[in-house]
Structure 1
């Protein structure tokens, strides 16, 4: 087991040197990433080192998402772990804070996903027991450059200093960073693994059903598909006196969804 450093020139890590976490939202990008990494790990004989992590978001995510993430992991024969934020779900958090998350303050991602993921890293390292070197953890995410300017700037392979310590070195890997949406779907269709039905209902992203970063079309569609959830968001909006988004309130989204 050679010591590995994420600063190396290569974008493609040697999977035999790591324990691997695949962050799966159950959405199309993590599904394509799962396929790519599991195939490579199988070729390298290290499929047993993969753990798929789904951070369950409860009622704000599309129904059936956690179950689908589990089934996808099962398809590749890899371990599946589900986590959620212990202190309550996103809507509980919005009520406590009195504000919705925003593109500049995405506490939803940091608290609902990154926090639970970090705890899993600790658990995996503890399971490895007394190895005589820092554990090498490869944390894989299905982020794509095409999705946003912030994502475009991210390195494909980078050290995660905040998650690393004397017992572990954590690297973040974005295996499908340069892929287009078309490539993602080609891959999924070729794999034959089931994907979430929300896409066939016209959604372009999975994530939270009503995501603060969603396009107007996605938000209107989601409000039509999940009217009860949209109504709950509108009630919270009233309760805390803060709009879901500066440019459109949930009340406006609901009105637009049911003209």
Structure 2
């Protein structure tokens, strides 16, 4: 299997944060990280619950258990984060601020946000590569991880590498993503890089890595779905 050219100096990082949906691409990114010799004690799986840790609305009901099973199998720490009320609350937001973000930490539960300007959503996520229109990913995933990193002092200690599973093959906009770049949370005081290790991989390479590791994929794939992203993303956006 070909290693991407933009391979970071893995020895320079104290911790490796894998944004883990339970889907095939984030799973392959995790497996690749392990194949490169990164110790499990240095890896954290961060799962963003798009339904807000409440009743199932848009995610697969089995996803939390699947994500937990993968973390337990490898002996890797798992932290779950969510925006209060999740997808349903943001969809119905009417003259109210975007809800606060809640995130698990090694010592308890953290909270951030919820004090922004009032606004009204009332729209389903649009089919667009513009994150202002395709709000599901930023509001319920990207911003959630960023808040969890920005609001924990432990990320000020040593370098952090954030790993996500976007692939160039998925869409023209994703093809333009950098394989390695500073993460949106990186500052002079907080050193955080963003690596997309499977960015140049084909879907065939993704499935080969999972088969080689003898890992059972998420049940959605067994049912014939081509991708795992929450059902709003499957139906509402070509870039999820």
Compute the TM-score of the two structures, normalised by the length of structure 1: 0.70
1:189 to 189, 211, 235: 211
Number of the residue aligned with 1:199 = 221
1:128, 1:92 → 2: CA distance?
29
1:146 is the counterpart of 2:169: yes
Match of 1:109, SS? helix
Match of 2:220, SS? coil
1:24 is the counterpart of 2:51: no
Instruction: Please report the RMSD computed on the Cα atoms of aligned residues, expressed in angstroms.
Output: 1.9
2:178 to 155, 165, 173: 155
Q: Where do 1:57-206 residues align within 5 Å?
A: 57-58=50-51, 59=56, 60-86=58-84, 88-96=85-93, 97-102=121-126, 103=128, 104=130, 105-122=133-150, 126-127=153-154, 131=157, 135-160=158-183, 162-206=184-228
2:89, 2:154 → 1: CA distance?
32
Match of 1:22, SS? strand
Shift of 1:91: 1.9
1:75, 1:15 → 2: CA distance?
23
Whether the 8 Å contact between 2:171 and 2:238 is mirrored in structure 1 is no
2:185, 2:134 → 1: CA distance?
19
Whether the 8 Å contact between 1:85 and 1:112 is mirrored in structure 2 is yes
1:48 is the counterpart of 2:75: no
Match of 1:195, SS? coil
In structure 2, list runs of 5 or more residues that go unmatched.
94-120
Structure with the bigger percentage of strand: 2
Whether the 8 Å contact between 1:121 and 1:137 is mirrored in structure 2 is no
Structure with the bigger percentage of helix: 1
Whether the 8 Å contact between 1:139 and 1:173 is mirrored in structure 2 is yes
Shift of 1:155: 1.2
Q: Count residues in correspondence.
A: 196
1:92, 1:123 → 2: CA distance?
23
Shift of 1:166: 2.9
